[in-house]
Structure 1
Amino acid sequence: MTRLARPRRRVSLAGLLTAALLATPLIALTTPAAAQPADAPAPALIPKPASQQALAGEDYSLKPWSVVGVSSNSKERRAALRIAEQLSSQLRRSTGYPLPVVLLAPGVADIKLSTNGPASLGAEGYQLRVDRKGVGVTAATPEGLYRGVTTLRQLLPAKADAKTRQAGPWRLAGTAVADSPRFGYRGAMLDVSRHFFSVAEVKRYIDLISLYKINKLHLHLADDQGWRIQVDSWPRLTTYGGSLEVGGTPGGSYSKADFAEIIRYAADHYLTVIPEIDTPGHTNAALASYAELNCNGVAPPLYTGTNVGFSSLCVAKDITYEFLDDVFREVAEQAPGDVLHLGGDEAHSTQHSDYLTFVPKAAALVTKQKKRVMGWQEIAETPLPAGSIAQYWGTDDARSQELARKAAAQGAKVVLSPANRAYLDMKYDASTPYGLDWAGLVNVEKSYSWNPSTLIPNLPESAIAGVEAPIWTETLDDLDKLEYMAFPRLAGVAELGWSQASALDWTAYKDRLGAQGSRWDVLSVNFFRAPEINWR
Structure 2
Amino acid sequence: MTDSECSAVASSNRLGNTVIRFRFWLRNSAITPSKLSRGRPGVMQGMESLHQRLRLVVLVATLGGAACRPSAVPPPQPVVLAPRLVPEPASTTITGGAPFDLARTSNIVVDPGNAEVAAIAEMLAAQIRRPTQFPILVSTTATSPGAIVLRLSGAPASVGDEGYALTVTADSVRLVANRPAGLFHGIQTIRQLLPQDIESEMGSERSTWQIPAQNIVDYPRFVWRGAMLDVARHFFTVREVQQYIDLLALYKMNVLHLHLSDDQGWRIALNSRPQLTALGSVTQVGGGQGGFYTQQDYQNIIRYAAARYILVVPEIDMPSHINAGLIAYPDLGCSARPTGPYSGTDVGWSSLCVDKEATYAFVDDVVREISGITPGPYFHIGGDEVQTLTHDQYVRFVERVQGIVNKYGKKMIGWEEITKARLNPTTIAQQWKSDSATAALASGAKLILSPAQKIYLDMKYTPTTELGLHWAAYVEVRDSYDWDPAAYIRGVGEKDILGVEAPIWSETVRNIGAVMYLALPRMPAVAEVGWTPQANRTWDGFRSRVASHAPRWNYLGMNYYHSPQVPW
Give the structure-2-normalised TM-score: 0.85
Give matches, 1:300-379, under 5 Å.
300-379=339-418
Distance 1:289 1:451, change over 3 A: same
The answer to whether the aligner puts 1:87 opposite 2:124 as a matched pair is yes
Distance 1:109 1:79 in 2: 23
Deviation, structure 1 residue 71: 2.2
Task: Determine if contact 2:263/2:323 at 8 Å carries over to the other structure.
Answer: yes
Distance 1:203 1:297 in 2: 37
Deviations 1:438-481 (A, max 9, x none): 00101111111110000001112211000000000000011111
Distance 1:190 1:104 in 2: 42
The answer to whether the aligner puts 1:436 opposite 2:469 as a matched pair is yes
Task: Determine if contact 2:334/2:350 at 8 Å carries over to the other structure.
Answer: no
Distance 1:321 1:253, change over 3 A: same
Q: For residue 212 of structure 1, what is the amino acid of its counterpart? A: Y
Distance 1:36 1:303 in 2: 65
Task: Determine if contact 1:280/1:350 at 8 Å carries over to the other structure.
Answer: no
Distance 1:34 1:240, change over 3 A: farther
The answer to whether the aligner puts 1:220 opposite 2:259 as a matched pair is yes
Select between 247-256 and 117-126 the one with higher mean Cα deviation: 117-126
Distance 1:362 1:471 in 2: 26
The answer to whether the aligner puts 1:124 opposite 2:169 as a matched pair is no
Unaligned runs of 5+ in 2: 1-28, 31-73
Distance 1:109 1:81, change over 3 A: farther
Q: Secondary structure at the match of 2:257?
A: strand
Query: 1:110 corresponds to which residue?
Result: 147
Q: For residue 97 of structure 2, what is the amino acid of its counterpart? A: G
Distance 1:392 1:176 in 2: 37
Deviation, structure 1 residue 317: 0.4
Distance 1:489 1:212 in 2: 11
Deviation, structure 1 residue 39: 4.4
Select between 299-308 and 319-328 the one with higher mean Cα deviation: 299-308
Deviation, structure 1 residue 106: 9.2
Give matches, 1:19-418, under 5 Å.
37-41=78-82, 43-71=83-111, 74=113, 77-104=114-141, 110-118=147-155, 119-168=157-206, 169-295=208-334, 300-394=339-433, 400-401=434-435, 403-418=436-451
Distance 2:529 2:347 in 1: 30
Select between 289-298 and 412-421 the one with higher mean Cα deviation: 289-298
Query: 1:476 corresponds to which residue?
Result: 509
Deviation, structure 1 residue 38: 3.4
Q: Secondary structure at the match of 1:246?
A: coil
Q: Secondary structure at the match of 2:280?
A: coil
Q: Secondary structure at the match of 2:189?
A: helix
The answer to whether the aligner puts 1:460 opposite 2:493 as a matched pair is yes
Deviations 1:356-397 (A, max 9, x none): 110000111100111001000010110112311100001xxx
Distance 2:354 2:80 in 1: 67
Task: Determine if contact 2:448/2:500 at 8 Å carries over to the other structure.
Answer: yes
Deviation, structure 1 residue 104: 3.5
Distance 1:279 1:106, change over 3 A: same
Distance 1:257 1:135 in 2: 39
Deviation, structure 1 residue 497: 0.4
Which structure has the highest helix share of the two?
A: 2
Distance 2:97 2:142 in 1: 27
Distance 2:80 2:368 in 1: 57
Q: For residue 305 of structure 1, what is the amino acid of its counterpart? A: G
Deviation, structure 1 residue 55: 1.7
Distance 2:548 2:494 in 1: 31
The answer to whether the aligner puts 1:514 opposite 2:547 as a matched pair is yes
For these two proteins, the number of residue pairs brought into alignment is 495
Distance 1:271 1:160 in 2: 23
Q: Secondary structure at the match of 2:487?
A: coil
Which structure is higher in RCO with an 8 Å CA cutoff and minimum separation 6?
A: 1
Task: Determine if contact 1:45/1:154 at 8 Å carries over to the other structure.
Answer: yes
Q: Secondary structure at the match of 2:483?
A: coil
Deviation, structure 1 residue 259: 0.4
Distance 2:213 2:334 in 1: 67
Deviations 1:411-446 (A, max 9, x none): 111000000110000000000112000001011111
Give the structure-1-normalised TM-score: 0.90
Task: Determine if contact 1:115/1:138 at 8 Å carries over to the other structure.
Answer: yes
Distance 1:57 1:348 in 2: 64
Q: CA RMSD in A?
A: 1.9
**Sequence identity (%):** 44
Distance 2:350 2:392 in 1: 16
Deviation, structure 1 residue 121: 2.9
Q: Secondary structure at the match of 2:92?
A: strand
Deviation, structure 1 residue 166: 0.5
Query: 1:25 corresponds to which residue?
Result: none
